[in-house]
């Protein structure tokens, strides 16, 4: 049986700290499909998968 590794979920404040961009930029880039989509935790709560954010950061480093 394959082992599922869920990884950490990051709330918006943690994503802002990692990426160094503000809320409006993150949400706009998500809407345009240029940033990882969040996972819905409840009716008013979302979080991002840490691995997807770290992969996105690495891809940006390689693109520069």
Query: What would the pLDDT profile of 8-50 be if each residue is shown by its tens digit?
Result: 999 999 999 999 999 999 999 999 999 999 999 999 999 999 9
Q: What is the structure's pLDDT at 5? A: 64
Q: What is the structure's pLDDT at 1? A: 45
Q: Return the closest-CA partner of residue 56 out of 24, 23, 20.
A: 20
Asked if 32 contacts 11 with a C-beta cutoff of 8 angstroms, the reply is no
Phi, psi (rounded to 5 degrees) for 50: -55, -45
Which position has the higher pLDDT, 2 or 64?
64
């Amino acid at each position: 049986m394959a082992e599922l590794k869920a990884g950490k979920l990051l709330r918006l404040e943690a994503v802002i700290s990692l990426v160094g961009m503000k809320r409006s930029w993150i949400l706009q880039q998500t809407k345009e499909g240029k940033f990882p989509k969040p996972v819905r935790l409840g009716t008013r709560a979302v979080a991002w998968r840490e691995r997807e954010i770290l992969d996105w950061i690495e891809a940006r480093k390689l693109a520069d």
